[in-house]
Chains A and B, each alone.
Chain A
Amino acid sequence: MINLTIDGQKVRVPKETTIFEAAKKMNIDIPHLCYHEDLSIYGACRICVVEIDRRPRLEPSCATVVEEGMVVRTNTARIRRARKMIVELLLANHPEDCFTCERSQTCELGKLAYDLGVRELRFKKARKYHYEPDTTSPAIIRDPNKCIQCSRCIRVCSEIQSVGAIEFVNRGGRTQVLTFFNKGLNNVECTTCGQCILACPTGALRERTVVDEAWEVISNPKKFVVVQTAPAVRAAIGEEFGMPPGSLVTSKMVTALRRLGFDRVFDTQFGADLTIMEEAHELIERIKNKGTLPMVTSCSPGWIKYIEHFFPECLEYLSTCKSPQQMFGPIAKTYYAQKAGIKPQDMCVVSIMPCVAKKFEAQRPEMKASGVQDVDVVLTTREAARMIKEAGIDFVNLPNEDFDKPLGISSGAGVIFGATGGVMEAALRTAYEIVTGRTLPRIEFEEVRGMQGIKNAEINLNGLSLKVAIAHGLSNAKVLLEEVQKGKSPYHFIEIMACPGGCLGGGGQPMPTNLEIRKARAKSLYQEDKNKPIRKSHQNPAIITLYKEFLGKPLSEKAHKLLHTSYTKRNRY
């Protein structure tokens, strides 16, 4: 342990602690920009500088490790002046369009300028560089003009996601974050996971917003508009309205969406239950018929794009099942449309997702199983919240309402899809009962839950010891896939989610999203599962009816046509 003094108070912290961390323990949150708790130390914004006795200069607290007897001050006139000046410098090179900026309410640079009392910009004649925004991606827009070169996007892309689609290019004031040869995000190995958006402190990265398109279809009287909401949305959207992280607001969300003017409010969890039916049967088939193993889940579109770019020779391991969003789409436009007497082309499916990659997924050319585009408009949690705000709906005080039937009926297994390990647990609940014909003695599979990067478990299925593994965050996925690639994977079934924590930590979720918040959201999803009367996908009555009336049985020809897909080998750049 190391003893030091921070702002006159003595503190004892373990070796290798940084001054920033030590201060945090004393409830001092040193102002910062390039520091991010999930990422490596970069030490370049110099906002978090502190004064240390016997050091000639101010030192970055994030990059300075404590030493015995160190005397640190975190708030002196010299420090305040330096921080203010640096913010002023950053603002001198920043577009002055804060009113119309996507991040006007969540901008860390703006907040810092306010907190530090920057009320005047002294570099009056500052010339700003102007760069063209990168609008090539269907999911993410990059505006280099708002970039402050904190490298958080670069670090999250390479460290957490092992993708490395963006890097610094050029030197000095001409430094930019760019894709390979400035080809644009859509033309390189970007997985569109959107973690860079969550990491960005300013408006330099944002989702390609389709709020206008959503309003347009809602107000079009010729369109029958159904909305589906992913599980992770209900555990997070409350944060956009000032509710504490992890507030479970399913029924308020349903009410709000109905008030926005959607004709039917359905649940992606219905699609999740359907995914489990198909996926569990596919797994059982593969095991029985000695098919390709391990089977790897395919619900996460960021993960799909990652494997297509980085492990194109491993595509056969992927389950052919579409994601819940893309199962819901064609079922709504065929089965439900028939039932309701609506032509598929008159129906519009809007989905609300914690994800930006879903925007890309919906536009994949193979996603037209219903004859028209299966999912028309994909909104993120943040965009949906903005629509609710735009409509002036007092979200927090809304009464509770229920999803519409039948595509709004779901099981607890569908709920936990939103958390890492959830798809695995849901699949196990169903697979166990199909294979053994017995009721699960204990419905919760605790071993597949939690925020550990890679989890594994063994489950006894009628004498077969089923080995499973779960990874979230693409760096962890890479570890499991490298085993698969070498033919050394010991598993039968692997669940992979592109984003840390699973969908609840998705790139479309409210800001900030951090480990604590991810844990809170997961907790509320598992609570919702507990509250559900039905907790297994194969017991969802709407699913049972769907198979009886329409699909026949899992993996039937019709199911294959509507609910399964194929993948594309992609280059790295």
Chain B
Amino acid sequence: MKVVLKNIEKRGYKGNIDSYLKEGGYNAFKKALKMKPDQILFEIKKSKLVGRGGAAFPTELKWEFAKKCKEYPKYVVCNADEGEPGTFKDRIILENDPHLVLEAMIICGFTVGAEEGFIYIRGEYFKAYEILKRAIEEAERNNFLGKNILGSNFSFKITLFRGAGSYVCGEETALLDSLEGKKGQSRVKPPFPTFVGFKNKPTVLNNVETFANIPEIILKGGDWFSQIGSPLSCGTKLYCLSGDVNRPGVYELPANITLKELIEKCGQGVRGKLKAILPGGVSSNLLTDKELNITLDYPSVQKAGSMLGSGAVIIINDSRCIVDLAKRCAEFFDYESCGKCAPCREGTKRTREIFANITQGQGNLSDILLLKELQEVMYDTSRCGLGQAALNAVRSIIEKFPGEFKEHISKKKCKLKICPM
């Protein structure tokens, strides 16, 4: 069952407007134009679609809140700043089926009463940027974008905006600040962007994959969509399978698949012996082979003590040093912390330092306790998701691989000879 990749996986599909129209593209929008905004919202509500960026917030609620706001103008923003290590699903959509996202944004604009949309695209996505630019021009030529679209009194335009290489700008409020030309740093929440967003106006901010589900929901109905997957997690999910698997890639599957099935059926098994899994990129808690039977939906992964996030499933085999992995995670967050709030700015810096010491044979057993406390405080007090989740992987590594950790510290030894002891 394909919802998002239905066109992409068709042989000979080019992703330009002609191919898209041939596959029934923009029919969802034409249908939506004849519907009342409340009917559209009702379909999305029935679909039980939740945000695919990681937070799994009900999409219908975001749209409804923004629609109810009496402030104008309103904005639609597509978060295409895909930056979580191990995530590459949005790129596949943007490069291969850009009109799917444009159509969804137009429907969103029509529903909530916005006339302007932005796609905030990751700075490094050069190819996707060019493709989207062309797609927007095509849509404008065909009057799916512009003034009085298809003879209606609805007008909508979409502007592409490139990020400048900051992970934290994937966080919605930092993204909005960056979009406004400011330094990308998270805002105080509440108020949430649906009420006070871009230029302090009501703004619907959805992930690329979330948007990509919308046209099918409009065409086939919310009930149809909610039948896919499990009642806990409706629809399909794009999984980015990477690391030590035989066939890495992006896989669209109903969200009732287990981790084991994903690895074995799609990934054709682990390369080497499985050691650990990061189910939602480096912000998620590590899972081990004991947890292979969990279902890959948001609530189930959460119940297992981790998070699905954007669906970046990273497989780690036994040739990898787990302390080295933790060090790399720590380096990533130190580099990407925006520096606004004290616990994240200083905490990521110190974590990186502690791991540099441990991997050079200068660790101290007290570091373990300190890291645990630091993780709890950073989770508790950091301003945005980056700092709150920065030490998740580190913490779970300490808990699930205590032996390897203590060996590095007490015996000053890296069995796999990866750390520069």
Contacts and interface: CB of A to CB of B under 8 A. Distances in A.
A171 B339 contact: yes
B84 interface: no
Interface string A25-49: 0000000010000000101111101
Interface residues of B, number: 34
Given A85-B374, A85-B377, A90 B382 contact: no
B350 A92 contact: yes
Given A85-B373, A170-B339, A172-B335, A44 B346 contact: no
Interface stretch (A1-9, A123-131, A403-411, A549-557): A123-131
Contact of B373 (A45, A58, A81): A81
A520 interface: no
B308 to A, nearest CB: 17
Contact of A90 (B188, B346, B373): B346
Interface in B328-367: 334-343, 345-350, 353, 357, 362, 366
A58 B381 contact: yes
B370 interface: yes
A57 B388 contact: yes
Given A93-B349, A122-B370, A44 B340 contact: yes
A92 B183 contact: no
Interface in A83-106: 85-86, 89-90, 92-93
B350 A148 contact: no
Interface string A54-97: 00011010010100000000000010011001100110110000
Nearest to B364: A124
B237 interface: no
Nearest to A62: B188
B383 interface: yes
B379 interface: yes
Contacts of B343: 46, 82, 85-86, 89
A46 B341 contact: yes
Contact of A89 (B334, B347, B379, B388): B347
Contacts of B346: 86, 89-90, 92-93, 173
A567 interface: no
A45 B380 contact: no
Interface in A510-544: none
A173 B337 contact: yes
A250 B350 CA distance: 51
A149 B339 contact: yes
Contact of B381 (A46, A63, A175): A46
A172 B357 CA distance: 20
Contacts of A148: 342
Contacts, number: 100
Contacts of A127: 353
Contacts of B353: 123, 125-127
A168 interface: yes
A174 interface: yes
Contact of A149 (B334, B345, B388): B345
A43 B384 CA distance: 11
B350 A86 contact: no
B413 to A, nearest CB: 20
B165 to A, nearest CB: 10
Nearest to A175: B339
Nearest to A41: B188
Contacts of A65: 190
Contacts of A171: 166, 336-339
B342 A89 contact: yes
Given A44-B383, A125-B353, A173 B377 contact: no
Query: From DSSP, what is the main secondary structure of chain A's interface residues?
Result: loop
A175 B377 contact: no
Interface string A196-229: 0000000000000000000000000000000000
A78 to B, nearest CB: 7
Given A49-B381, A82-B380, A89 B350 contact: yes
A63 B342 contact: no
B348 A86 contact: no
Contacts of B339: 149, 168, 170-175
A173 B351 CA distance: 12
Nearest to A125: B357
Contact of A81 (B345, B377, B382): B377
A125 B191 CA distance: 40
A95 to B, nearest CB: 15
A57 B383 contact: no
Contacts of A123: 350, 353, 370
A184 B335 CA distance: 27
A150 to B, nearest CB: 8
A170 B380 CA distance: 25
A115 B388 CA distance: 26
B338 A172 contact: yes
Contacts of A78: 380
B379 to A, nearest CB: 7
Centre residue among A44, A86, A90, A127 by max chain B CB count within 10 A: A44
A78 B377 CA distance: 9
A188 to B, nearest CB: 18
Contacts of A90: 342, 346
Given A122-B370, A168-B339, A172-B337, A43 B347 contact: no
A89 to B, nearest CB: 4
A63 B188 contact: yes
B338 A149 contact: no
Interface string A111-125: 000000000001101
Contacts of A126: 350, 353
Most chain B CB inside 10 Å of its own CB: which residue of A33, A65, A123, A175: A123
B414 to A, nearest CB: 19
B188 A86 contact: no
B336 to A, nearest CB: 7
B350 A46 contact: no
A63 B347 CA distance: 21
B345 A173 contact: yes
Contacts of B350: 89, 92, 123, 126
Interface string A148-176: 11000000000000000000101111110
Contacts of B183: 168
Given A60-B188, A125-B357, A168-B339, 5 more contacts: A45-B341, A57-B381, A92-B346, A148-B342, A172-B336
18 contacts: A44-B341, A46-B341, A57-B388, A78-B380, A81-B377, A82-B343, A85-B343, A86-B343, A86-B346, A89-B342, A92-B350, A122-B366, A149-B342, A170-B339, A172-B336, A172-B348, A173-B337, A173-B345
| 6 A-B pairs closest in CB distance | A175-B339, A89-B346, A172-B337, A173-B349, A46-B381, A85-B377
